[in-house]
Amino acid sequence: MRKHCRRKIYSLVNPISLAIDGVRTTPQSALNDLRLRELAAIESFAKGKATLQDWCDINAMLSIAETMALAGVGPEALVDCEAAQKALIEAARRFEATRRMGTTGPGIQAFRGLFEVHDLQRQSIQRSDYEKLIQKSLHRIRSKAKEVIEL
């Protein structure tokens, strides 16, 4: 008996529009939601009323920005990543000691600088590449790579 071709029929997803969306840059509405969340976290740190979720938001931004910089998208972000990482470690130590989350003025400046650079990184690449770099960052954290710091 001969083999028959069994082509997949995508009834729920249009593969052409999906491919076109992957080539485009990330839509502004999705970026605005991310920006709002990250700016709210930075503002919470500035007021000294940050929560663990705010710390995690800044940490996620830092991880993705660092992965993008190491992949060649805005390598100048590594300087801001290093400063923001030191500020996050200091904030975690302060939280363990005092149960209050906050950081110093240079830490806030590091977060703001990182936000600006990472926002430019997000806008300069395709959405599919951005999603791949997010997954790469997540896998790097899960695998506990040598450069990942555990707190």
When the pLDDT of each residue in the chain is averaged and rounded to a whole number, the result is 87
70 and 82 Cβ atoms separated by less than 8 Å = no
Q: How many domains does the chain have?
A: 1
pTM of the model: 0.80
Residue 3 lies in a domain: no
- 76 belongs to a structural domain: yes
Q: What are phi and psi of 101, to 5 degrees?
A: -100, 125
**What is the distance between the alpha carbons of residues 138 and 56, in angstroms, rounded to a whole number?**
13
Is residue 83 assigned to a domain? yes
Assess if residue 114 is contained within a domain. Answer: yes
**More reliable by pLDDT, 11 or 42:** 42
Cα–Cα dist 111/102, whole Å: 12
Within a domain: 45 = yes
What is the spatial distance between Cα 150 and Cα 7, in angstroms, rounded to a whole number?
Answer: 47
Q: What does the pLDDT read at residue 22?
A: 66
Q: How many helices (H) and strands (E) does the chain have?
A: 6, 0
In a domain, 62, yes or no: yes
Identify the domain containing residue 50 by its residue range. 15-142
Query: From the CB of residue 109, how many other CB atoms can be counted at a distance below 10 Å?
Result: 15
In a domain, 6, yes or no: no
- Positive/negative CA dihedral, 127, 132, 133, 138: positive
Q: At 151, is the pLDDT very low, low, confident or very high (cuts 50, 70, 90)? A: low
Domain membership of residue 102 (yes or no) is yes
Contact criterion met (CB below 8 Å) for 91 and 45: yes
